[in-house]
Amino acid sequence: MLTIWGRRTSSNVQALMWCVAELGLPHRRIDAGHIHGVTDTPDFLAMNPNGTVPVLRDGDGPPLFETGAILRYLAGRYARPPFWPAEGVGRAQVDQWADWAKLNVAMNFTAPVFWRVVRTAPSRRDPAAIAAAMTTLGRFLDIAEARLSRHAHLAGEDFTLADIQLGHVLHRYHDIAIERLARPALAAYHARLAERPAYRAHVMVSYEELRVLD
Ligand SMILES: N[C@@H](CCC(=O)N[C@@H](CS)C(=O)NCC(=O)O)C(=O)O
C-alpha cells in the first residue's frame, strides 16, 4: 500500500496521483500543504526537509520526495514497458523527455504563469510579466508542438512517464484566462489525455481553492 502526502490541488501531487491511477496501485492520500498545513510539522520535515509535497512511502519503506524520482521509482517497481522502458537508450529517451517537460514546460508554467494569473489578486496582476512568461513558455511549447505533430505522445508513439511530466500542467494551461497561441497538435494531445479516466480524476480538478481575489 502506498501512502501519499499532498493536496489534490498541487500540480506535482496531480502528476503523482495520475501515475498511481494509471498503474492501478492501491494507495491512500493524506491532505498536506497550502490550506491543509502538515508540511511544517517536525514529522513531515523529517520525511522531506523541503516541506513540500508530494511525499510517498511504499509500505514501510523510506519516505521519498521529488516528483520525478517518485515517478521513476513507481515506474521501475510497478509499471510494464513501454511506460518506462526496461533499459538502455529507450529508457534514457523517456527520461530525457520527462525531465525536459518538467524543467521547461511545468516550471515555466506553474510559478511564472499560473501563479501570476490565478494566485495573484486581479488588482496586483502584472500583464507585462505574464506576457514575458508566456513568451518563454511558448518556446518550449513550440518544441512540444513540433514533436506532437509527428508522434502520438511526447517520447514517441506510446504513452509513457514523459507524458505525465508534460500532461499534468496542460489542463491548467488550457483552462486559465490567458491568450494562447494556436498549437493544434498540443491541443489535440491534451484532448486525448482528457479522455483518460485517471487524468480526469486527478488532473482535471478545480483549482478554485488556490485563487486569490481582491
Ligand atoms: N521539486 C519538487 C517541488 C515540490 C513543490 O514545490 N511542491 C509544491 C506544490 S506543487 C508545494 O509543496 N508547495 C507548498 C504547499 O503546498 O504548501 C517536486 O517535484 O516534488
* Per-position pLDDT tens, the chain of length 214: 999 999 999 999 999 999 999 999 999 999 999 999 999 999 999 999 999 999 999 999 999 999 999 999 999 999 999 999 998 999 999 999 999 999 999 999 999 999 999 999 999 999 999 999 999 999 999 999 999 999 999 999 999 999 999 999 999 999 999 999 999 999 999 999 999 999 999 999 999 999 999 9
Q: Are 123 and 214 in contact (CB under 8 A)?
A: yes
The CA 66 to ligand 1 mean position distance, Å, reads 8
Residue nearest to atom 9 of ligand 1 (CA): 10
Ligand 1 atom closest to the Cα of residue 12 is 10
Q: How far, in Å, CA of 8 to CA of 54, rounded?
A: 10
pTM greater than 0.95 (yes/no): yes
**Domain residue extents for the chain:** 2-78, 88-202
Ligand 1 atom closest to the Cα of residue 52 is 12
Q: Which CATH class is domain 2-78?
A: alpha beta
Ligand 1 atom closest to the Cα of residue 68 is 19
The domain made up of 88-202 has a fold known as Glutathione S-transferase Yfyf (Class Pi); Chain A, domain 2 (1.20.1050)
CA nearest neighbour of 16 among 60, 51, 58, 53 = 53
Q: How far, in Å, CA of 56 to CA of 16, rounded?
A: 9
The CA 53 to ligand 1 mean position distance, Å, reads 5
Q: How far, in Å, CA of 35 to CA of 7, rounded?
A: 9
Residue nearest to atom 12 of ligand 1 (CA): 52
